[in-house]
Every structure is written in C-alpha cells, then in structure tokens.
Amino acid sequence: MAKTLVGVFDDQAAAYNAVRELQSLGIPQDHIRLMNNSDIASGREGTETGTDQQGWMEKVRTWFSSLFEEGSDREQADLYSEAYRRGHYIVVVDVRSEMVDQSAAILNKYGTVDLQRRSEQWRSSGYRGYDRNARPYTTEERDREISGLQSDTGAVAIPVVQEEIQIGKQVVQRQGVRIHSYIEEKPVEEIVRLREERIDVQRRPVDRPATGEDLTFKDRSVDVAAYGEEPVVGKTARVVEEVTVGKNVQERDQKVKETVRRKDVKVDNVDAGRSATTHKH
C-alpha cells in the first residue's frame, strides 16, 4: 500500500538535500514533488493578476485536501496550504509501506517544520485560518518571516523549583507562677502574772496611854485605794521571710527534621520519525 509523506522546510537547500537522499533510497523521481510558491508569487505561470493567484491557491488547497481521507482533518490541509502560501518548501513523496520509516527519518533529518507549533507562531501574529483570497508571500516576505521565527526560538521555560528550609526561633511560655499575699490568723496564748491589791480592814485591841495626837478630837478621813494589774496586748510587725521570684536561663540543642520538595524537569528523547506526516494515497 502506498503512503504519502509531506515535509515542510524553511530552507531550500535542506529540501533539495532531502529530495536527493530520498532518491538514493530508490524512490522514483516522479514519486517525489518539491513545491514552492515562487512561481505564483513572482507572476509566472500565467498568474500575473490577483484573481489568477487566488485561483491557483484554491487548486493547491484542493490538492492538499485530497491527501486526506474525505472529511478528515481539514485543518491539517489548511496548514499545508498556508505553509505553501507563505513560501515554505514542501516535499511530497509517495512511498511503499515498508519504506515509510526510512523516508520519514530522512525528512526529519533535514529539519522538517513542526506545523502545529509553527501555526501557533502564525496565530501570535494574527493568523486565524487559511484564506484562499490571501496573497502569496514574496521571497523577501518569506525570508523576513523565517528570519523572525528563527530568532524567536519559541523556547519554553520550565521552572525547576526547589524548596528551601528556614529554621528560626520563637518564644513560647513553658512555665509560670502567680504570687499572692494573704492574711492568716491563728490564736496565741501566753500566761501573764498579774498583781492584785485588796483592802484589808482589821480591828485589834490596844491598851496604851493616849498621846497628844490621840487627844485631838477632829473629824478625819483616810482614803485607801487598792490597785490591780490587767493584761495589756500590744502588737509590732516584723519581717520574718521574703519570697524572691527570678528566672534561670538554660540553652539546649534540638534537632529539627523537615521535608523539602523539589519540582524537577525530566527530558525524554522523542523518536525522530514523529515529525513527518503520513497519509494514505
């Protein structure tokens, strides 16, 4: 069963080299076609007017559509037609099934364009889909665009993220005391010796001659007081103890265990035979 491979190239020399190497595999020359819009864009092939150019581009679009099964992947046909309109070199080769892998490897060897990625670059510049009425690129326009695309490598930066750990310290309360002062009462007993006076009146018989003092007959009063002692309680305050509150500072080493994450990037090699597109013919 025959299959059709299509390779799109930015560089004319690369396309010619691919054609020569395909021929060296034994593929007949009439099974290999190298296409470029230079004839229509420059006004040759009887396409001097814009209408003629549009008609020719529609034929190109119809031809690319025929490479696909009916109703399938119209967008792919549009991308090949757009690449042709923009002046890319397109190699179309019909090969037997057993030669597909070798032929695809040759096309990829000489730098076939990834059309999906290229279409994204076109869209960033305003491309919205294939337009049969759009004018084909001139050689100067083609070279200018290719130069711009090559300078914009389209590199995608995939970050490698590494977590780092920072270990610090914070103060937390481990222990505390609250000090209260309060009044406590307790009974105290002591024995105190007290002196008590009492009045003692006695009469006793006396027989002696009266003296002058005794003979003075006047009223006379004599007051005799008796005294007693009572306990008197006095209090004095003395400081008998002090409570001192302070802090002792100690230092200790503690091992901290934690897990840090890293988002890495793994690069896998992709089979070189994937870039060329294969179609039944």
| Token representation of residue 188 | 């105290």
Return the residue matching tokens 């099934």.
97
Q: What's at 259, amino acid-wise?
A: T
Torsion of CA 54, 57, 61, 63, to 10 degrees: 130
CA distances from residue 202 to 118, 130, 217, 232, 266 in whole angstroms, order as listed: 149, 156, 22, 33, 133
- Contact indicator for 47, 53 with CB cutoff of 8 Å: yes
What is the C-alpha separation between 224 and 200, in angstroms, rounded?
A: 10
What's the length of the chain? 281
pLDDT (0 to 100) of residue 132: 77
pLDDT (0 to 100) of residue 47: 43
Question: What are the structural domain ranges in the chain?
Answer: 2-158+273-280
What is the C-alpha separation between 154 and 114, in angstroms, rounded?
A: 12
Walking along the chain (281 residues) 10 residues at a time, the average pLDDT comes out as 86 92 91 82 47 68 73 76 89 90 92 88 85 84 80 58 80 83 86 87 84 73 85 87 85 86 76 52 48
Helices (H), 37-196: 38-42, 50-66, 74-85, 100-109, 115-124, 139-151
What is the C-alpha separation between 118 and 277, in angstroms, rounded?
A: 14
Phi, psi of 42 (to 5 degrees): -90, -5
Strands 89-96 and 32-35: antiparallel
What is the C-alpha separation between 31 and 91, in angstroms, rounded?
A: 10
pLDDT (0 to 100) of residue 44: 46
